[in-house]
């Protein structure tokens, strides 16, 4: 099964432009505990390089674009994030890397848990060790 799991959002558009609404309990497959966004990422800067033990997230590139790599320790897939009407579901225990941010990129992330640094695995070898021991 592919690591790239898209959630399509309905576009509530009219002659003035487009609007996307995300509601608790609809489309996002977990209770929403946190929302954050990443913007003004410098040209050539790479982000991520970690997995989460427990956290699930939906990532939405609301402006611009970047390249996301997902790796579950068995397969590695990459996808361009460039569509504000699609959310990328990132399950727990998936290594992620983010590259090639455009200057105007804004990445909105919906998260299933509050911020917890102890949930991060920031070392790839440790991530692979935990995948193999699961």
- Known catalytic residues are 50
Query: What's the half-sphere exposure (Cβ side, CA atoms, 13 Å) at 85?
Result: 9
User: 3-class DSSP state for residue 127?
Assistant: helix
- Smallest gap, in angstroms, from Cβ of residue 57 to ligand T46? 6
Q: Rg of the chain over CA atoms, in angstroms?
A: 15
CB of 78 to ligand T46, least distance (A): 14
Contacts to ligand T46 from residues 30-69, by CB under 6 A: 34, 36, 38, 47-48, 57, 59
Enumerate residues 95-114 that contact ligand T46 by CB under 6 A.
96, 109
By rule CB under 6 A, what count of residues binds ligand T46?
10
Of 47 and 85, CB closest to ligand T46: 47
Q: Do 29 and 101 meet the contact criterion of CB atoms below 8 Å apart?
A: no
Q: How far apart are CA 119 and CA 97, in angstroms?
A: 17
Residue 115 interacts with ligand T46 (CB under 6 A)?
yes
């Amino acid at each position: 099964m592919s690591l790239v799991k898209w959630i399509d959002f309905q576009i509530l558009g009219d002659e003035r432009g487009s609007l996307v609404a995300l509601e608790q309990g609809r489309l996002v497959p977990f209770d929403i505990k946190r929302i954050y966004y990443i913007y003004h990422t410098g040209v050539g800067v790479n982000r991520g390089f970690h997995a989460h033990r427990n956290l699930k997230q939906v990532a939405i590139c609301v402006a611009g674009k970047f390249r996301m790599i997902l790796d579950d320790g068995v397969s590695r897939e990459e996808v361009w994030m460039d569509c504000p009407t699609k959310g990328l579901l990132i399950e727990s225990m998936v290594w992620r890397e983010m590259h090639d941010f455009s200057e105007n990129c804004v990445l909105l992330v919906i998260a299933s848990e509050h911020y917890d640094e102890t949930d991060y695995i920031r070392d790839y070898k440790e991530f692979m060790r935990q995948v193999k021991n699961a």
